[in-house]
Amino acid sequence: MRDVIYVDGKWVASAGSATIDVVNPATEEVIDRVPEGTAADVDAAVAAARRAFESWAATPAEQRCGYLGRLAAKLKERNQVIAETITADMGAPVKIAQKVQAGLPAVVAGSYADPAIVPERGEEVGNSLIVREPIGVVGAITPWNYPLHQIVAKVAPALAAGCTVVLKPSEVAPLAAYLLTEIFDEIGLPPGVFNLVSGTGPVVGEAIAAHPDIDMVTFTGSTRAGSRVSEVAAQTVKRVALELGGKSPNVILPDADLPTAVKAGLSNVYLNSGQTCTALTRMIVHRDQRDEVVGLLADGVAKFSVGDPSDAATKLGPLVSAAQRDRVRGYIRQGIEEGATLVAGGPDAPEGLDKGYYVRPTVFADVTPEMTIAQEEIFGPVLSVLTYETEDEAVAIANNTQYGLAAAVWAGDAEHATAVARRIRAGQVEVNGGAFNPMAPFGGYKQSGNGRELGRFGLEEFLETKAIQR
């Protein structure tokens, strides 16, 4: 039982006595408990981070980044344990957990091991020396769908930049955060540089956003919750970086390799059981290719086995909670009620899986842009197929959303696809299946948030700019 929080380099009891059950979504069994942290816990963690800030900021970048190199090595060593923990914690199939949930954080941590990524020398502009300095104490609030990656994507650049951190992981899937904290403790990160307070958003999250001694909040989650974080943080005029929801388009142009594009698009939507903010949940295809696309999708869905996420053969595990399962099934019912054509799946439980928070992999065709399933983020294994007649119409449909996190374009000519990608208002656009780049900036337009994560751009979010006139 993880019945403690981590403050000032020590595992300590929470100021409160309440705990939160951690539930395995495949079995519905309680597998652990963590403290339901309090505002007093946040005060203690922030005070520790504030005390540690000056010396940590003055520590040479080579030493700060050295800790991240050691973190990356430990994450690689413990890939299997981390993957198994995340599988039990939030239901990611074990193969995906090994490669993505546990593997990607090691890569991201390692990307900040080179001190050259930190701009320390400054720049001469006329009679001014322009320097970049760490912003201060950072409050990080992270989600349950990628419970380790989203932490490392914030904490690693913040530490490299010279900031100290107070982390609130999601109370739904907090166990990976505890594994990370154990590694920080093991590698000897100085006391107060990293602090962990488990708990709920309305208590711990709000206390972090409102705290006058926190200089910046970095948040990943829903647009509604991100809006609340911004509102609370505005009272102390702190910087806020947000990575929020998405309703990402996948534009397939008529000359694209259709089987490849459809197969890749379906796999993208079903990754992590659809619980991915960048999921390409709107497949936008030419009207003349509608029937062929639907046939390819119907065949493809049959290959996505649903079941026990600890089984290596499973491609789709459960959703993270009963509430999330019921929410997604509600969207599927709404799609049927609004007149979309159900190609595969549906709102009923998968056969033989009465226990666990499972949802059938679902595809809708004949979806129109105004339908709820085309506008709202479902966060489950649900794909909507929309059709267009002209390229301009395809782009208009792609941009017809409050979100702008990710997108994809497929075409026979990569330059043509790139030209269309430039017209889509999203922070990251794949062209013909371009691979994810952990050094490229990640973040959204519109209500998908502000600020960027990963690589140099992610580190710069944690820096202030000072002009020294000479």
Give the residue range(s) of CATH 3.40.309.10 domains in the chain.
Answer: 249-437
Contacts of 415 (CB under 8 A, 6+ apart): none
Phi, psi for residue 446 in degrees, rounded to 5: 50, -135
* 299-353 per-position pLDDT tens digit: 999 999 999 999 999 999 999 999 999 999 999 999 999 999 999 999 999 999 9
Residue 186, exposed/middle/buried by CB under 10 A (0-12, 13-18, 19+)?
exposed
**Beta pairing partners, 6:** 11, 196
Tell me if residue 219 falls in helix, strand or coil. Answer: strand
Strands, E assignment, 70-136: 123-125, 128-134
Q: Give the pLDDT band (50/70/90) at residue 1.
A: low
Looking at residue 143, its pLDDT comes to 98
Pick one of 3.10.50.40, 3.40.309.10, 3.30.465.10, 3.30.450.40 as the CATH number of 249-437: 3.40.309.10
Enumerate the active-site residues: 243
At the topology level, CATH places domain 5-244+447-469 in Aldehyde Dehydrogenase; Chain A, domain 1 (3.40.605)
CB 22 within 8 A of CB 173: yes
Residue pair 439/454 in contact by the 8 Å Cβ criterion: yes
The helix/strand/coil state of 144 is coil
Q: How high is the pLDDT of residue 2?
A: 84
Average of per-residue pLDDT across 212-241: 97
Report the chain's mean pLDDT, rounded to a whole number: 97
Tell me what percent of the residues of the chain surpass a pLDDT of 70. Answer: 100
| pLDDT, position 121 | 84
Q: Which of 297, 312, 295, 225 is nearest to 262 (CA)?
A: 297
Distance CA 176, CA 398 (A): 35
Pinpoint the residues of the chain covered by CATH 3.40.605.10. 5-244+447-469
For the purposes of burial, counting CB atoms within 10 Å of the CB of 174, is it exposed (0-12), middle (13-18) or buried (19 or more)? buried
pLDDT digits (tens, 9 = 90+) for 133-143: 999 999 999 99
Rg (CA), the chain: 22
